[in-house]
């Protein structure tokens, strides 16, 4: 059967999620033919994942009827035919709702197909001297082969209609011995790794992803971001995403020599290791940033505002943002005034109220609270909806407030009058104290993340729920 020349490069979806069949332009004359088998720019523009192939394999098959598969491998593949024709069969062997879905097609040199990790690949040659080519985005190894998932070519559930019966086809003994679908252990999805999982945000992510085997949590004891050894010893091939919930947040201590070194070590050096790892292994990196990357000189800060940090902490967070921004697949979540399960401003104010203390609280710094439950939900939303990569502001909604406004609300919510809170200026509060400079206006524009379909709770309502939970737990 002759090859169809001069087809337009097109992509066709299939019943298996992520499996895409491509028509390739083939140009021929009396001498033979030529095609661009893999052209990154054109194919990425058609929606093919930029999967970064590292190995090119060719399977030459001398006789028609040679049948190979069904093998699901732990990497992505871009498959095409160099000479001859094949009948291809693909079965989704990944963990999830599409497990067992089948797609078949005849292919010649004018077609190619993208097969994601975990989808079983098989083919049967329809002509003698058929060459089957595939690009893969990981190097073959004996260790990797142990992660394959297999399905029997004759499985009754898949019910693949092979053009040449398997009784007449050429099969390997190994392929004949592979299990039926009912006995196949699905290939697990790649994992999300949460580092810094013992902090306030880490605890919120633990609660949000409780029971998810595909999410792994690592505190400093399990994964020390400060050591190269931790990164070298991790097999990153089984991961898709890193969520960095670790940070040095002691704003005032960061102004000391010891604190400055610690802030740069955690907020910059460790982040550079995470970014390098994400680039090398094609991972998505989620990084949590801060309003302190700005000087507070604008009424509201959007994601495009240039960095203008005032102190060491803000400088290290800005440097971390700049590093993460070069990772092709990244989300930077810029937050302010974080409140979660741990020591924070709201807990401190609640304790002072219950002890009868009448505090002086800053009234000329304004912004919004960011509850860790909402930050965690925003991270999950961006990942699950595959939102556009980039930087997003993520705080709770509602009107901007001063720290004194929030303190007064806390006092009211615990049953002590808000009039017990005395508002003072930043200059007065920090007079004769060693303190870092702070942005006076920390309100972040939330329109970008809202355009991706995510809206946080109103800050006042979230505060009520938080105080109710604290009182329910009997905290004092």
Query: Which residues are known to be catalytic?
Result: 71, 134
Q: How many CB atoms lie within 10 A of CB 259?
A: 18
Q: How far apart are CA 192 and CA 302, in angstroms?
A: 28
Q: How far apart are CA 90 and CA 151, in angstroms?
A: 10
Q: Are 407 and 421 in contact (CB under 8 A)?
A: yes
Q: How far apart are CA 226 and CA 270, in angstroms?
A: 6
Q: Are 370 and 339 in contact (CB under 8 A)?
A: yes
What tokens does 50 get? 């930029």
DSSP 403-417: HHHHHHHHHHHTTS-
Alpha helices in 265-311 (DSSP H): 270-281
Instruction: Collapse the DSSP code of 196 into the 3-class scheme (helix H, G, I; strand E, B; otherwise coil) and give the result.
Output: coil
Peptide bond into 70 cis (omega under 30): yes
The candidate with the shortest Cα–Cα distance to 76, out of 151, 23, 122, 19, is 19
Question: Could you identify the residue written with the tokens 């709201």?
Answer: 346
């Amino acid at each position: 059967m002759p090859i169809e020349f001069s087809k337009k490069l097109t992509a066709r979806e299939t019943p298996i999620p992520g499996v895409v069949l491509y028509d390739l332009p083939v140009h021929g004359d009396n001498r033979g033919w030529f095609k661009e088998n893999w052209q990154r720019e054109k194919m990425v523009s058609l929606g093919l994942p930029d999967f970064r192939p590292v190995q090119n394999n060719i399977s030459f098959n001398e006789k028609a009827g040679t049948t190979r598969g069904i093998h699901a491998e732990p990497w992505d593949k871009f498959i095409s035919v160099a000479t001859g024709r094949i009948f291809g069969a693909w079965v989704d062997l990944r963990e999830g709702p599409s497990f067992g879905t089948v797609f078949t097609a005849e292919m010649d040199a004018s077609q190619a197909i993208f097969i994601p990790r975990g989808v079983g690949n098989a083919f049967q040659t329809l002509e003698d001297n058929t060459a089957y080519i595939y690009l893969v985005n990981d190097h073959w190894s004996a260790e990797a082969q142990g992660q394959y998932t297999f399905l029997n070519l004759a499985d009754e559930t898949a019910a693949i209609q092979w053009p040449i019966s398997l009784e007449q086809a050429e099969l390997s003994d190994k392929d004949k011995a592979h299990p039926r679908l009912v006995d196949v252990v699905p290939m697990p999805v790649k994992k999300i790794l949460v580092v810094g999982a013992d902090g306030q945000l880490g605890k919120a992510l633990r609660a949000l992803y409780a029971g998810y085997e595909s999410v792994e949590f690592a505190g400093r004891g399990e994964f020390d971001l400060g050591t190269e050894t931790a990164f070298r010893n991790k097999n990153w091939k089984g991961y898709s995403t890193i969520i960095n919930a670790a940070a040095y947040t002691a704003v005032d201590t960061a102004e000391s020599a010891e604190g400055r070194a610690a802030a740069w070590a955690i907020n910059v050096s460790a982040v550079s290791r995470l970014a390098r790892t994400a680039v090398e292994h094609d991972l998505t990196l989620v990084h949590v940033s801060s309003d302190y990357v700005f000087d507070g000189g604008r009424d509201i800060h959007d994601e495009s505002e240039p960095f203008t940090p005032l102190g060491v902490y803000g400088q290290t967070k800005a440097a971390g943002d700049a590093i993460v921004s070069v990772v092709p697949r990244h989300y930077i979540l810029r937050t302010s005034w974080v409140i979660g399960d741990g020591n924070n401003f709201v807990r401190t104010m609640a304790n002072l109220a219950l002890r009868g203390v009448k505090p002086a609280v800053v009234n000329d710094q304004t912004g919004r609270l960011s509850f860790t439950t909402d930050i965690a939900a925003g991270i999950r939303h961006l990942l699950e909806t595959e939102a556009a990569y980039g930087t997003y502001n993520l705080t709770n909604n509602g009107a901007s407030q001063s720290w004194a406004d929030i303190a007064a609300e806390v006092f009211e919510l615990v049953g002590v009058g808000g009039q017990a809170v005395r508002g003072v200026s930043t200059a007065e509060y920090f007079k004769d104290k060693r303190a870092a400079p702070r942005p006076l206006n920390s309100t972040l524009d939330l329109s970008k993340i809202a355009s991706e379909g995510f809206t946080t709770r109103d800050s006042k309502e979230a505060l009520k729920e938080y105080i109710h939970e604290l009182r329910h737990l009997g905290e004092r």
